[in-house]
Amino acid sequence: MTSINSAESAIKALASDDAGVRYHAAWWLGKNRVESSVNVLIQCLQDEGDQTSTGGYPLRRQAARSLGLINDSRCTPYLLETLHSKDIHLHEATLRALIELKTADCKDELNKYVEQNIEGKPIEALIETLTTYEMWDTKEKVEPYLHSDSERIASAAASYFYTYSGEIRYLNKIHSYLNHSNRFIRQSAAFDLARIASITSTESILNARIPNNIKMHSLKSILEKSILHQSKHLPSSSINLNGKQQEIIKKLDNLVRENFAGNIVIDNSYLPGGTSKETRPENTNINLSYALDLLKSPSLEDREVGIYLLTNSSQFIHTDLSSLYFSESDQDIKVGLIKAITGKEDPRFLSALLDAVGVEIGNHCQGNIRRIATCALGKMGSQKHIEEDAIQSITDKLAWAITKPEDWGLRYSACLALEEISNNQSKELLTGANGSELDIVVLMRINLAMSKVACL
């Protein structure tokens, strides 16, 4: 089996005889944004050898996605060539890559593509691309899609016209989809609102029955575009967040700290069977396996009951949650165990939290584990009675988490943790991160944390 764990090994794997290996290599290069791989990915973009029985080109699609992630405009003409292929899914991958590239060199080709009568044309992605490039001369072609049978396409069209005109009726149309019975339509509407960056939409997004991860992404995108608009004539160091921006920061703080829900919709009002929070069982004769089964239930309410039992029930006070964490392979259970450990705030479980912060992300659950554990380290490190060796281990882990991970949410979490600890080492780490952070939202949060730590 070919091991892909570096830029060199991934680029070499693109020459493999195994189509699956080539596909994984192209994905790895995009995920890790390897700029030196642009030329070889362009070659993959032109490779017509790896074709499915239905006529699709999986490798070319993944190469397009990866080139979009790497965001090097040199690939633009090669991406545009793929719009002449018969692979509609490749067209969509290319359009979404062009959204990331934001290069004006593609407008002429996009105009031609709009005019083409292509069966199965990816209309939603096309409208989003036209919105990104502010191609308002195509509005007569987009207008019929406001009444599309596909709510996602209609929402994309409303986003196009709201961005063009600023008319509130289009924004209201997108907001209405946040209440749709189909969760995928709700999520798609949130992404539309994130793209058009309507700062007045934050409450609607927060109140929608969508996953916390999507709420985080949407609020961050809205805040980011608001700050960037403000910074056109000011250096980032001179920007003072206004009241609405500060409110979004507070909401982001809460989402990052309470991100247990992951891709599940939170509903904290009721527990299974209509049991209210006030009547949660504490000392009922429930065994450990039942509590762990609750942690992997598809119901978020069941999971929260499992966490509550492990954290508060007298039956589990002496249960070694740390050993359970290290012996468990199910990611849902591991998230729940870390959440329970967080609730106990016991230094005995420090090793599990340190491990969870550094876990390699393979899916959304592991991303949640890292953020939850990082915030827990902040709580633990702020305790007055914690031993010096423990606080040093916490600080060393946060020194990594505030600067190294690609995941902005983890760096944001580390900022919250250092703010909570508020000692001299926190101040030094925040100051160092301030000089290297490129994400404008994380940078603003670091600045706020530095101000608080300096006051203390």
* Start-to-end CA span in the chain (Å): 54
Which positions ≥6 away from 169 have C-beta within 8 Å? none
The amino acid sitting at 149 is: D
| Strand residue runs (E) in 341-388 | none
Q: Which CATH number applies to 1-121?
A: 1.25.10.10
Domain 272-455 fold is Leucine-rich Repeat Variant (1.25.10)
In the chain, how long is the greatest CA-to-CA distance?
70
Domain ranges for the chain, please list them: 1-121, 122-238, 272-455
Location of structure tokens 């091991």: 3
Check residue 36 and give its pLDDT: 95
pLDDT by residue, tens only, the chain of 456 residues: 568 889 999 999 999 999 999 999 999 999 999 999 999 999 999 998 888 888 899 999 999 999 999 999 999 999 999 999 999 999 999 999 999 999 888 999 999 999 999 999 999 999 999 999 999 999 999 999 999 999 999 999 999 999 999 999 999 999 999 999 999 999 999 999 999 988 999 999 999 999 888 999 999 999 999 888 877 655 555 568 888 999 999 999 999 887 544 444 444 443 444 344 444 455 456 788 888 888 888 877 888 888 888 888 777 766 788 889 999 888 888 888 998 888 877 888 999 999 999 876 555 556 778 998 999 999 999 988 889 999 999 999 999 999 998 899 999 999 999 999 999 999 999 999 999 999 999 999 999 999 988 876
This prediction's pTM = 0.83
Task: Dig out the tokens for 264 from the structure.
Answer: 């599940």
The amino acid sitting at 444 is: M
The helices-and-strands tally (H runs, E runs) of the chain is 25, 0
d(CA 14, CA 162): 43
Nearest to 137 by CA among 158, 174, 164: 164
Check residue 365 and give its pLDDT: 54
